[in-house]
């Protein structure tokens, strides 16, 4: 009967441990930065536009932007990844925006992409579905303005505006404003917010102004969608740049 022999454990390669420790330290550094900022921001969220501009680096056309340092990559990636989940949603995200801006301070490229999100962070960016659902009331107000009526027009004028818009949607000849509203509705239904905003930009000023808060929400949605695409691409670029 043979005695069991002890098998000597394999010794880890020193290089493997060094890479693992470096990765863990970078992740912990980013995590502690976020936790510290969240604790510091506890309470009422600061005005997001002021927070964004305060954190914006001071640059001008005569100053050459320095390339980001490799050591900054974890912090910047945390800033982007913290913000990305909020962008497809309709709810405001002032605290996440303030933390992302603070983490990205000093990086001109990331900050330039964050600044257009200030209105969406403060007020929210309605989803395309919500915008499409609310478009009828906004379009009726625009038709009333084109007819020379204000928002307090009576039921008869409102009925006439709705009938005119219905006729235009069925192909009846109408005014350029009615045609633009019809095309914008179709573009919204197709999910093209950028093209819908471009179509509404062709409306006369008084008609476009009647779209009011609804159009402001559309612009915030366009800004959020564009920022999501650009920030996602930038995060991938930065991660690949520091990958071993």
Q: pLDDT of 101-147, one tens digit each?
A: 999 888 888 999 999 999 999 999 999 999 999 998 888 888 777 76
Q: Please report, for residues 131, 142, 152, 183, 203, the alpha-carbon distance to residue 177 in angstroms, rounded to integers and kept in the order given.
A: 19, 8, 20, 10, 6
18-25 contact pairs (CB < 8 A, 24+): 19/244
Instruction: Say what the pTM is.
Output: 0.67
Q: 239, 230, 240: which is closest to 27 by C-alpha?
A: 239
Length of the chain: 244
d(CA 104, CA 205) in angstroms, rounded, equals: 38
The reported pLDDT for the residue numbered 61 is: 36
- Euclidean distance between CA atoms 184 and 186, whole angstroms: 5
Q: Supply 152's token pair.
A: 């307090």
pLDDT confidence band for 87 (50 / 70 / 90)? very high
Q: What is the pLDDT of residue 159?
A: 60
Sequence-ordered list of residues with C-beta below 8 angstroms from that of 84, at least 6 positions apart, any chain? 228, 231, 232, 235
Residue ranges per domain, the chain?
A: 17-124, 128-214
CA dihedral sign of residues 18, 23, 24, 28: positive
pLDDT digits 0-9 by tens, 36-62: 344 333 433 445 545 544 444 443 434
The whole-chain average pLDDT of the chain stands at 73
Distance CA 86, CA 163 (A): 38
Task: Please count the other Cβ atoms lying within 10 Å of the Cβ belonging to residue 158.
Answer: 17
CA-CA distances (angstroms) from residue 185 to 54, 90, 197, 235? 38, 20, 10, 34
Q: What percent of the chain has pLDDT over 90?
A: 34
Neighbours of 131 (CB within 10 A): 20
């Amino acid at each position: 009967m043979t005695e069991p022999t002890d098998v000597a454990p394999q010794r880890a390669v020193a290089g493997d441990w060094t890479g693992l420790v470096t990765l863990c330290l970078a992740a912990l550094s980013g995590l502690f930065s976020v936790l510290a900022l969240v604790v510091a921001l506890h309470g009422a969220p600061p005005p997001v536009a002021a927070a964004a501009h305060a954190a914006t680096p001071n640059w001008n056309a005569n100053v050459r932007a320095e390339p980001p340092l490799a050591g900054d990559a974890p912090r910047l990636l945390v800033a982007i990844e913290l913000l990305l989940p909020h962008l497809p949603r309709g709810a405001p995200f002032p605290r996440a925006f303030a933390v992302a801006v603070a983490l990205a301070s000093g990086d001109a490229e990331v900050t330039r992409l964050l600044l257009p999100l200030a209105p969406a962070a403060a007020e929210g960016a309605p989803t395309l579905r919500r915008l499409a659902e609310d478009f009828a009331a906004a379009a009726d107000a625009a038709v009333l303005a084109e007819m020379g009526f204000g928002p307090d027009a009576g039921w008869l004028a409102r009925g006439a505006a709705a009938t005119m818009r219905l006729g235009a949607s069925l192909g009846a000849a109408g005014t350029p404003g009615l045609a633009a509203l019809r095309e914008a509705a179709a573009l919204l239904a197709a999910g093209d917010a950028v093209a819908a905003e471009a179509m509404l930009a062709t409306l006369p000023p008084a008609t476009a102004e009647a779209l009011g808060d609804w159009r402001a929400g559309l612009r915030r949605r366009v800004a959020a969608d564009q920022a999501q695409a650009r920030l996602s691409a930038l995060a991938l670029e930065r991660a690949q740049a520091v990958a071993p």
